[in-house]
Amino acid sequence: MDEGKGNKTDTKNVNETSKKISLNDLEKNDGKSGKNFWILIGDKVYDVSNFKHPGGKSIFKEPGPGADLQEGFDDAGHSKSAIEKMNGMFIGTYSK
């Protein structure tokens, strides 16, 4: 659990030429009542629909669609393997 403490989100491996995702898209995929669940970290969108987050999912839902969860992600001191998992869930770049 302490392994990798202080890691910053590593977004080097993700595809920068990906599709653009709007606030409306995030609202339509807010994880409520069985819907897909997309979250925003920095300016990148991740599909966590099928992911069982060890820190729970309500931590993602609280601020609501369009909220940047970067700070919470960094503060939790995620492991290298958590960051790799996150990169695998990348689906696009947020554009307001």
What stretch of H or E contains 28?
helix 23-28
Residue nearest to ligand HEM as judged by C-beta position: 72
Cβ contact 89:48 at 8 Å: yes
Q: Which of residues 15-54 bind ligand HEM (CB under 6 A)?
A: 41, 46, 48, 53-54
The backbone torsions φ and ψ at residue 82, rounded to the nearest 5 degrees and listed phi first, read: -65, -40
Task: Report, in Å, the least distance between residue 95 CB and ligand HEM.
Answer: 19
Cβ contact 20:92 at 8 Å: yes
Residues that bind ligand HEM (CB under 6 A): 1, 41, 46, 48, 53-55, 59-60, 69, 72-73, 76, 78-79, 81-82, 85-86, 89
